Structure 1
Amino acid sequence: MIRFVSRLRNERRGLTLLELIIAMTIMAVLASAVLPMAEVTVKRSKEIELRRSLRIIRNAIDEYKADFEKASGKEPGKQQFYTPAINETGYPKELEDLLEGRDWGGMYPYKRKYLRRIPRDPFDRNDQGWGLRSYVDDPESTVWGGEDVYDVYSQSDAVALDGTPYNSW
Protein backbone atom coordinates (compact mmCIF):
# COMPACT_ATOMS: atom_id res chain seq x y z
CA MET A 1 0.00 0.00 0.00
CA ILE A 2 2.78 2.44 0.86
CA ARG A 3 4.51 1.64 -2.40
CA PHE A 4 1.33 2.35 -4.35
CA VAL A 5 0.85 5.83 -2.78
CA SER A 6 4.48 6.78 -3.28
CA ARG A 7 4.32 5.60 -6.87
CA LEU A 8 1.29 7.88 -7.50
CA ARG A 9 3.19 10.86 -6.06
CA ASN A 10 6.16 10.22 -8.32
CA GLU A 11 4.00 10.11 -11.41
CA ARG A 12 2.19 13.37 -10.63
CA ARG A 13 4.82 16.08 -10.18
CA GLY A 14 3.43 19.16 -12.02
CA LEU A 15 0.19 21.03 -12.55
CA THR A 16 -2.24 20.16 -15.25
CA LEU A 17 -3.14 22.63 -17.98
CA LEU A 18 -6.60 23.09 -16.49
CA GLU A 19 -5.15 23.98 -13.07
CA LEU A 20 -2.84 26.55 -14.66
CA ILE A 21 -5.70 28.16 -16.60
CA ILE A 22 -7.85 28.40 -13.46
CA ALA A 23 -4.99 29.91 -11.45
CA MET A 24 -4.25 32.48 -14.18
CA THR A 25 -7.96 33.40 -14.41
CA ILE A 26 -8.16 33.99 -10.66
CA MET A 27 -5.01 36.14 -10.77
CA ALA A 28 -6.40 38.19 -13.70
CA VAL A 29 -9.67 38.84 -11.85
CA LEU A 30 -7.80 39.94 -8.73
CA ALA A 31 -5.47 42.21 -10.73
CA SER A 32 -8.39 43.84 -12.55
CA ALA A 33 -9.96 44.66 -9.18
CA VAL A 34 -6.74 46.06 -7.66
CA LEU A 35 -5.58 48.34 -10.51
CA PRO A 36 -8.49 50.84 -10.36
CA MET A 37 -8.11 51.04 -6.59
CA ALA A 38 -4.40 51.78 -7.02
CA GLU A 39 -5.16 54.57 -9.52
CA VAL A 40 -7.60 56.18 -7.08
CA THR A 41 -5.02 55.92 -4.30
CA VAL A 42 -2.38 57.67 -6.43
CA LYS A 43 -4.82 60.44 -7.37
CA ARG A 44 -5.88 60.88 -3.74
CA SER A 45 -2.26 61.22 -2.60
CA LYS A 46 -1.65 63.87 -5.30
CA GLU A 47 -4.74 65.73 -4.10
CA ILE A 48 -3.42 65.68 -0.54
CA GLU A 49 -0.08 67.02 -1.81
CA LEU A 50 -1.87 69.80 -3.74
CA ARG A 51 -3.88 70.85 -0.67
CA ARG A 52 -0.70 70.86 1.43
CA SER A 53 1.23 72.91 -1.15
CA LEU A 54 -1.57 75.47 -1.44
CA ARG A 55 -1.79 75.75 2.35
CA ILE A 56 1.98 76.25 2.68
CA ILE A 57 2.11 79.01 0.06
CA ARG A 58 -1.03 80.76 1.30
CA ASN A 59 0.22 80.70 4.91
CA ALA A 60 3.53 82.21 3.77
CA ILE A 61 1.66 84.98 1.91
CA ASP A 62 -0.44 85.66 5.03
CA GLU A 63 2.68 85.81 7.24
CA TYR A 64 4.30 88.24 4.79
CA LYS A 65 1.19 90.45 4.95
CA ALA A 66 1.10 90.26 8.76
CA ASP A 67 4.75 91.33 8.96
CA PHE A 68 3.99 94.21 6.59
CA GLU A 69 1.19 95.35 8.92
CA LYS A 70 3.47 95.09 11.97
CA ALA A 71 6.42 96.83 10.31
CA SER A 72 4.35 99.68 8.92
CA GLY A 73 2.85 100.38 12.36
CA LYS A 74 -0.73 99.72 11.29
CA GLU A 75 -1.40 97.79 14.46
CA PRO A 76 -2.39 100.16 17.30
CA GLY A 77 0.40 100.86 19.77
CA LYS A 78 3.11 99.31 17.64
CA GLN A 79 6.36 100.93 16.54
CA GLN A 80 6.78 101.75 12.86
CA PHE A 81 9.83 100.10 11.29
CA TYR A 82 8.92 100.50 7.64
CA THR A 83 7.28 103.25 5.62
CA PRO A 84 5.24 101.70 2.79
CA ALA A 85 4.76 103.21 -0.65
CA ILE A 86 1.37 104.79 -1.38
CA ASN A 87 0.11 101.98 -3.62
CA GLU A 88 1.71 99.11 -1.67
CA THR A 89 -0.80 96.46 -0.56
CA GLY A 90 1.51 94.53 1.74
CA TYR A 91 1.50 91.37 -0.35
CA PRO A 92 4.67 90.09 -2.06
CA LYS A 93 5.30 91.33 -5.61
CA GLU A 94 6.23 87.80 -6.78
CA LEU A 95 6.36 84.32 -5.26
CA GLU A 96 10.17 84.54 -5.22
CA ASP A 97 9.90 87.34 -2.63
CA LEU A 98 8.79 84.66 -0.16
CA LEU A 99 12.07 82.81 -0.83
CA GLU A 100 14.37 85.83 -0.76
CA GLY A 101 12.79 87.37 2.32
CA ARG A 102 12.57 90.96 3.49
CA ASP A 103 14.33 93.14 6.05
CA TRP A 104 11.25 95.11 7.24
CA GLY A 105 13.34 98.06 8.31
CA GLY A 106 15.02 96.32 11.23
CA MET A 107 11.92 94.80 12.81
CA TYR A 108 13.84 91.52 12.84
CA PRO A 109 17.60 91.22 13.38
CA TYR A 110 17.79 89.29 10.09
CA LYS A 111 16.18 89.17 6.68
CA ARG A 112 12.95 87.23 7.27
CA LYS A 113 12.32 84.44 4.77
CA TYR A 114 8.92 82.79 4.46
CA LEU A 115 9.61 79.70 2.32
CA ARG A 116 12.65 77.47 1.79
CA ARG A 117 11.38 76.49 -1.62
CA ILE A 118 8.19 76.96 -3.57
CA PRO A 119 6.17 73.74 -3.39
CA ARG A 120 5.30 72.22 -6.74
CA ASP A 121 1.86 71.59 -8.14
CA PRO A 122 1.51 67.77 -8.44
CA PHE A 123 -0.97 68.16 -11.32
CA ASP A 124 1.22 70.58 -13.32
CA ARG A 125 2.16 68.55 -16.40
CA ASN A 126 3.12 71.38 -18.77
CA ASP A 127 5.44 73.27 -16.39
CA GLN A 128 2.98 76.16 -16.21
CA GLY A 129 3.64 76.74 -12.52
CA TRP A 130 1.13 78.18 -10.11
CA GLY A 131 -1.64 80.48 -11.22
CA LEU A 132 -1.44 83.84 -9.44
CA ARG A 133 -4.04 86.42 -8.42
CA SER A 134 -3.31 89.92 -7.20
CA TYR A 135 -5.21 91.87 -4.56
CA VAL A 136 -7.18 93.81 -7.17
CA ASP A 137 -8.07 90.76 -9.33
CA ASP A 138 -11.45 89.06 -9.15
CA PRO A 139 -11.51 86.02 -6.84
CA GLU A 140 -12.16 83.67 -9.80
CA SER A 141 -9.79 85.42 -12.22
CA THR A 142 -7.42 83.29 -14.27
CA VAL A 143 -5.37 86.28 -15.45
CA TRP A 144 -2.80 87.77 -13.08
CA GLY A 145 -2.86 91.56 -12.83
CA GLY A 146 0.83 91.61 -11.86
CA GLU A 147 0.61 94.10 -8.98
CA ASP A 148 1.27 91.58 -6.20
CA VAL A 149 0.59 87.97 -5.20
CA TYR A 150 -2.57 87.74 -3.15
CA ASP A 151 -3.49 84.12 -3.92
CA VAL A 152 -2.27 81.03 -5.80
CA TYR A 153 -4.18 78.26 -7.53
CA SER A 154 -3.50 75.17 -9.62
CA GLN A 155 -3.69 75.69 -13.38
CA SER A 156 -4.74 72.09 -13.98
CA ASP A 157 -8.01 71.54 -15.82
CA ALA A 158 -8.45 68.12 -14.19
CA VAL A 159 -11.31 67.32 -11.83
CA ALA A 160 -10.87 66.01 -8.28
CA LEU A 161 -12.37 62.84 -6.87
CA ASP A 162 -15.09 64.95 -5.23
CA GLY A 163 -16.05 66.49 -8.59
CA THR A 164 -14.54 69.95 -8.09
CA PRO A 165 -11.92 71.31 -10.50
CA TYR A 166 -8.43 71.64 -9.03
CA ASN A 167 -8.14 75.24 -10.22
CA SER A 168 -11.01 76.22 -7.90
CA TRP A 169 -9.29 75.06 -4.69
Structure 2
Amino acid sequence: MGKLRQALRFQLGLTFIELVLAMAILSVIAAVTMPLAEIAVKRGKEVELRRALREIRGALDEYHADWSRAVRERRYIPSIDETGYPETLEELVTGNDWGGLYPYKRKYLRRIPSDPFDRWDQGWGMRAYKDDPDSTVYGGGDIYDVFSQSDGVALDGTSYNTW
Protein backbone atom coordinates (compact mmCIF):
# COMPACT_ATOMS: atom_id res chain seq x y z
CA MET A 1 0.00 0.00 0.00
CA GLY A 2 2.85 2.44 0.76
CA LYS A 3 4.46 1.91 -2.67
CA LEU A 4 1.13 2.60 -4.41
CA ARG A 5 0.80 5.93 -2.54
CA GLN A 6 4.30 6.93 -3.57
CA ALA A 7 3.59 6.06 -7.23
CA LEU A 8 0.34 8.07 -7.20
CA ARG A 9 2.04 11.06 -5.56
CA PHE A 10 4.44 11.44 -8.50
CA GLN A 11 1.73 11.15 -11.18
CA LEU A 12 -0.83 13.62 -9.81
CA GLY A 13 0.83 16.82 -11.12
CA LEU A 14 1.43 18.15 -14.63
CA THR A 15 4.83 18.13 -16.25
CA PHE A 16 6.46 21.35 -17.39
CA ILE A 17 5.95 20.43 -21.05
CA GLU A 18 2.23 19.84 -20.49
CA LEU A 19 1.93 23.27 -18.88
CA VAL A 20 3.77 24.95 -21.76
CA LEU A 21 1.54 23.21 -24.31
CA ALA A 22 -1.62 24.18 -22.42
CA MET A 23 -0.46 27.84 -22.27
CA ALA A 24 0.37 27.82 -25.99
CA ILE A 25 -3.07 26.48 -26.87
CA LEU A 26 -4.79 29.05 -24.65
CA SER A 27 -2.77 31.91 -26.16
CA VAL A 28 -3.68 30.83 -29.69
CA ILE A 29 -7.37 30.68 -28.74
CA ALA A 30 -7.14 34.15 -27.11
CA ALA A 31 -5.37 35.59 -30.17
CA VAL A 32 -8.15 34.32 -32.41
CA THR A 33 -11.08 35.47 -30.24
CA MET A 34 -9.88 38.99 -29.37
CA PRO A 35 -10.35 40.47 -32.88
CA LEU A 36 -13.76 38.81 -33.09
CA ALA A 37 -14.75 40.40 -29.78
CA GLU A 38 -13.60 43.84 -31.00
CA ILE A 39 -15.66 43.44 -34.17
CA ALA A 40 -18.70 42.42 -32.13
CA VAL A 41 -18.36 45.54 -29.94
CA LYS A 42 -17.99 47.80 -32.99
CA ARG A 43 -20.99 46.17 -34.69
CA GLY A 44 -23.05 46.77 -31.54
CA LYS A 45 -22.12 50.46 -31.53
CA GLU A 46 -23.02 50.71 -35.22
CA VAL A 47 -26.46 49.23 -34.53
CA GLU A 48 -26.90 51.72 -31.70
CA LEU A 49 -25.87 54.62 -33.98
CA ARG A 50 -28.34 53.58 -36.68
CA ARG A 51 -31.11 53.30 -34.08
CA ALA A 52 -30.33 56.73 -32.61
CA LEU A 53 -30.27 58.38 -36.06
CA ARG A 54 -33.55 56.70 -36.99
CA GLU A 55 -35.13 57.83 -33.70
CA ILE A 56 -34.07 61.48 -34.03
CA ARG A 57 -34.91 61.70 -37.73
CA GLY A 58 -38.31 60.13 -37.10
CA ALA A 59 -38.99 62.67 -34.35
CA LEU A 60 -37.99 65.52 -36.69
CA ASP A 61 -40.42 64.21 -39.32
CA GLU A 62 -43.25 63.90 -36.77
CA TYR A 63 -42.54 67.44 -35.52
CA HIS A 64 -42.75 68.77 -39.08
CA ALA A 65 -45.93 66.79 -39.80
CA ASP A 66 -47.63 68.26 -36.70
CA TRP A 67 -46.47 71.76 -37.66
CA SER A 68 -47.90 71.29 -41.17
CA ARG A 69 -51.20 70.03 -39.76
CA ALA A 70 -51.44 72.95 -37.30
CA VAL A 71 -50.78 75.43 -40.14
CA ARG A 72 -53.31 73.68 -42.41
CA GLU A 73 -55.97 73.77 -39.67
CA ARG A 74 -55.08 77.42 -38.93
CA ARG A 75 -54.18 76.70 -35.32
CA TYR A 76 -50.67 78.04 -35.82
CA ILE A 77 -49.59 81.03 -37.87
CA PRO A 78 -46.02 80.60 -39.14
CA SER A 79 -43.58 83.39 -39.86
CA ILE A 80 -42.52 83.94 -43.47
CA ASP A 81 -39.19 82.07 -43.29
CA GLU A 82 -40.34 79.30 -40.93
CA THR A 83 -39.86 75.76 -42.27
CA GLY A 84 -41.60 73.75 -39.59
CA TYR A 85 -38.50 72.10 -38.17
CA PRO A 86 -37.29 72.75 -34.59
CA GLU A 87 -34.56 75.27 -33.85
CA THR A 88 -32.98 73.00 -31.24
CA LEU A 89 -33.07 69.27 -30.53
CA GLU A 90 -34.36 70.12 -27.06
CA GLU A 91 -37.68 71.19 -28.62
CA LEU A 92 -38.24 67.52 -29.47
CA VAL A 93 -38.02 66.73 -25.75
CA THR A 94 -39.96 69.71 -24.35
CA GLY A 95 -42.74 69.43 -26.95
CA ASN A 96 -45.34 71.80 -28.38
CA ASP A 97 -49.15 71.98 -28.30
CA TRP A 98 -49.34 73.66 -31.75
CA GLY A 99 -51.96 76.22 -30.84
CA GLY A 100 -54.39 73.71 -29.36
CA LEU A 101 -53.87 70.93 -31.91
CA TYR A 102 -53.26 68.74 -28.87
CA PRO A 103 -54.69 69.29 -25.37
CA TYR A 104 -51.15 68.86 -24.03
CA LYS A 105 -47.61 69.55 -25.14
CA ARG A 106 -46.77 66.73 -27.53
CA LYS A 107 -43.28 65.44 -26.88
CA TYR A 108 -41.42 63.67 -29.67
CA LEU A 109 -38.51 62.21 -27.68
CA ARG A 110 -38.08 61.26 -24.03
CA ARG A 111 -34.43 62.20 -24.26
CA ILE A 112 -31.95 62.95 -27.00
CA PRO A 113 -30.06 59.73 -27.79
CA SER A 114 -26.29 59.95 -27.59
CA ASP A 115 -23.87 59.15 -30.39
CA PRO A 116 -22.01 55.95 -29.40
CA PHE A 117 -18.93 57.07 -31.35
CA ASP A 118 -18.81 60.58 -29.84
CA ARG A 119 -15.56 60.49 -27.87
CA TRP A 120 -15.07 64.21 -27.35
CA ASP A 121 -18.63 65.24 -26.36
CA GLN A 122 -19.20 67.07 -29.63
CA GLY A 123 -22.81 66.03 -29.82
CA TRP A 124 -24.73 65.51 -33.03
CA GLY A 125 -23.85 67.31 -36.22
CA MET A 126 -26.85 69.19 -37.58
CA ARG A 127 -28.06 70.39 -40.96
CA ALA A 128 -30.57 73.15 -41.55
CA TYR A 129 -33.32 72.90 -44.15
CA LYS A 130 -31.43 75.29 -46.44
CA ASP A 131 -28.06 73.48 -46.08
CA ASP A 132 -26.72 71.12 -48.73
CA PRO A 133 -27.64 67.45 -48.12
CA ASP A 134 -24.00 66.49 -47.46
CA SER A 135 -22.99 69.66 -45.62
CA THR A 136 -20.97 69.24 -42.43
CA VAL A 137 -21.38 72.89 -41.40
CA TYR A 138 -24.59 73.87 -39.63
CA GLY A 139 -26.14 76.91 -41.29
CA GLY A 140 -28.23 77.77 -38.24
CA GLY A 141 -31.97 78.18 -37.90
CA ASP A 142 -33.99 75.03 -38.05
CA ILE A 143 -32.74 71.44 -37.70
CA TYR A 144 -33.66 69.34 -40.71
CA ASP A 145 -31.20 66.46 -40.25
CA VAL A 146 -28.58 65.11 -37.83
CA PHE A 147 -25.43 63.10 -38.37
CA SER A 148 -22.57 61.64 -36.37
CA GLN A 149 -19.52 63.87 -36.08
CA SER A 150 -17.24 60.85 -35.74
CA ASP A 151 -14.64 60.52 -38.47
CA GLY A 152 -14.43 56.76 -37.94
CA VAL A 153 -15.00 54.18 -40.63
CA ALA A 154 -17.69 51.51 -40.34
CA LEU A 155 -17.24 47.80 -40.93
CA ASP A 156 -18.77 48.21 -44.38
CA GLY A 157 -16.18 50.85 -45.33
CA THR A 158 -18.44 53.91 -45.12
CA SER A 159 -17.76 56.88 -42.87
CA TYR A 160 -20.05 57.29 -39.86
CA ASN A 161 -20.64 60.95 -40.64
CA THR A 162 -22.26 60.01 -43.97
CA TRP A 163 -25.00 57.86 -42.44
Question: What TM-score do you get using the length of structure 1 for normalisation?
Answer: 0.93
Question: How far apart, CA to CA, are the structure 2 residues paired with 1:90 and 1:30?
Answer: 56
- Please state if 1:98 is matched with 2:92: yes
2:28 matches 1:34: no
Deviation digits for residues 93-117 of structure 1 (CA, Å, limit 9, x no counterpart):
1111111111200000001111110
Residue 121 of structure 2, aligned match among 120, 123, 127: 127
Q: Deviations over 1:14-45 (max 9, x none)?
A: 11100000000000000000000000000000
> Which residues of 2 match residues 14-163 of structure 1 at below 5 A?
14-73=13-72, 79-163=73-157
Partner of 1:76: none
TM superposition shift of 1:80: 2.0
2: CA distance, partners of 1:152 / 1:57: 8
Instruction: Specify the code of the residue in structure 1 equivalent to 2:10.
Output: E
Structure 1 residue 156, shift from structure 2 partner: 0.3
CA drift of 1:90 comes to 0.4
Instruction: Give me the whole-angstrom Cα distance separating, in 2, the residues matched to 1:150 and 1:11.
Output: 76
Please give the alpha-carbon distance, in whole angstroms, between the structure 2 residues aligned to 1:125 and 1:39. Answer: 17
Figure out how many residues of one structure are paired with residues of the other and give that number: 163
Partner residue of 1:11?
10
Aligned mates of 1:127, 1:82 — CA distance in 2? 36
Identity between Structure 1 and Structure 2 (%): 60
Q: So what's the TM-score if we normalise by structure 2?
A: 0.96
What RMSD over aligned residues (CA atoms) do the two structures have, in Å?
1.3
- Look up the equivalent residue of 1:69 and give its one-letter code: S
Spell out, residue by residue over 1:122-142, the C-alpha distance to the aligned partner (whole angstroms, 9 max, x if none). 000010000000000000101
Gaps of 5+ in 1: 74-78
**Unaligned 5+ runs, structure 2:** none
